[in-house]
Amino acid sequence: MRHLLTIATIVVLGLSTAAAAAASTDSIDDLVATELSASGAPGAAYAVVTDGEISESGASGVRHAGTGEPVTPDTPFAIGSISKSFTALAVMQLVEDGLVDLDAPGGDYVTALAGTPAGEPTVRELLSHTSGFSTLQGNTSHEASGAASADDGALAQAVAQLADVAPEYPPGTRWEYSNTNYQYLGRLIEEVADTSFADHITAHVLDPVGMDDSFVADGEVHDEMATGHTPWFWTKRPLADNGTDVVTAPQGGIVASANDVAAYLAMMMNGEDDVLSAEGKAAMMRPASDVSPFYGLGWYVDTSDGTVGHSGATPGVETQATLIPARDDAVVVLVNGGSGIGFGETTQLRLSVTAEALGLDYAGEGSRWTQKALFLGLCLAPLLYLASMAWAWIKRGAIRAKSGAAGLFSLWFPLLTTGAAAWVLLVLVPDLMGAPLSTVRIFQPDMALAMTATAVMGIAWAGFRLVVAYTGRSAQD
């Protein structure tokens, strides 16, 4: 990987090495404690790799709000989309074993998708998010009803349903992040290796790396995990249990501790032929194609500063892994709290610790006032609509007196505008966010509730005015 970096990048990274070396365990621990409090998350853990070795790790807070169970660097967290790099690594192992061709259609290896539009994207396109599957498609569940565990063949059933789903765009023509790609690849691993995804990842990645406190989502509840906490109106509330999901395992279901992820990152940078060849690792951490200039095979790639990394998000947990392969340095930050909109975000916690550990520049996230204003507006809107309904009742005489074209317009136009606003809130905005409202509800339940309440109360207000206007006219006349 080193020979792929530009001279300018090497100079910049060289200048930042001294700053990175100066970062002490105490300074990172202080930073974690400060930013953890600001984020409202119950706990966080981190681990740092320096010159290819785990040099320090630490944690702050608790595994579950309201308990005294501390988070430690060995506490397992659901690491979210960092898991994609594990899936990509397993695919690359199959490539090096001669069992998979990167440029062959995915349908060649997934029987249920052979001969379908979903079977056309190549394995390389699936790995690099250039398959044509959209973000929205990837965040829309295709899980078969009742499928919960590996024994049920849940992943096979979910991927088989893609036979009826064509990619949104022609394969290989544009980059768009999609969880569908990695669900698909998880099933590819199962069919080629003739074993479950969890068993294959455990035997070929977790065990060889020595990730003793880690496992793959198996559909069971694991009390030892850090509990996820989703945003709930300026607070965070814990999930009901530490359940895991087999279907989403290839895209985000690796459960790992900070120390274990650090060992994994060290392996990715060691330049050795071990879990994968050195060249195979390097190929994963460079741009996959001209269509994917900032994403490799399971990793984001920033050639401007020489970093490689991936963030992750599962309900109530957010994570960040960042590597500088040229220096054999890396850091992982795991937080058991999901971000709100403007309030209680974990981004600054994760990125400030990353910058401190690696000696990178980071100016913080700022006030986030636009996001805060949006969230506050959506929270207040239902109350304003309710107050407007009360006002309409108080002024019912004036409403009932409306007549003529202007009066009809005044009565009916609000129903049109609030109906349009409801469509924007419940359909258009989720589409723009790349997730249906049902998915928003899982990750940001307060935002989903505020959006739904605003949409419903807007139409209720407009409808109430019409009821007031037309039910009282005969008596008034």
Strand locations in 233-379 (E): 235-238, 254-256, 300-302, 307-314, 317-324, 329-335
CB distance 349 to 343 below 8 Å = no
Angle at the Cα of 454 (from 420 to 448), degrees rounded to 5?
105
Angle at the Cα of 387 (from 384 to 393), degrees rounded to 5?
145
Q: Report domain extents, the chain.
A: 2-358, 369-476
Q: What is the CATH number of domain 2-358?
A: 3.40.710.10
Which residue from 332, 78, 80 is spatially nearest to 226, judged by alpha carbons? 78
Write out residues in the chain with pLDDT < 50, as ranges. Answer: 1-23, 143-149, 477
**CB atoms < 10 A from the CB of 215, how many?**
22
pLDDT the model gives residue 140:
87
CA distance 94 to 187: 13
- Burial pattern 258-284, b for ≥16 Cβ within 10 A else e, equals bbbbbbbbbbbbeeeeebbeeebbbbb
**Tokens linked to 366:** 């700022």
Which residue from 92, 122, 82 is spatially nearest to 299, judged by alpha carbons? 82
pLDDT the model gives residue 5:
34
CA distance 442 to 80: 14
CA distance 424 to 418: 10
The C-alpha torsion from 190 through 181 and 87 to 327, rounded to 10°, is 160
What amino acid is encoded at 463 in this protein? G
DSSP state string for 262-273? HHHHHHHHS--S
272 phi-psi bin (left φ>0, alpha ψ -120 to 50, beta other): beta
**What φ, ψ does residue 226 adopt, rounded to 5°?**
-70, 130
What amino acid is encoded at 229 in this protein? H
CB distance 158 to 118 below 8 Å = no
Angle at the Cα of 374 (from 371 to 379), degrees rounded to 5?
125
Type and span of the H or E element at 433: helix 429-433
For residue 83, CA distances in Å to 22, 287, 299 come to 31, 19, 10
Q: In the beta sheet, which residues pair with residue 235? A: 232
pLDDT the model gives residue 25:
59
CA 10 from chain centre, in angstroms, equals 31
pLDDT the model gives residue 151:
54
**Tokens linked to 76:** 């397992």
Which residue from 2, 194, 188, 177 is spatially nearest to 95, judged by alpha carbons? 188
**What φ, ψ does residue 9 adopt, rounded to 5°?**
-65, -40
CB distance 306 to 8 below 8 Å = no
Say what the pTM is: 0.89
CB distance 246 to 253 below 8 Å = yes
Which residue from 77, 130, 116 is spatially nearest to 294, judged by alpha carbons? 130
pLDDT the model gives residue 433:
87
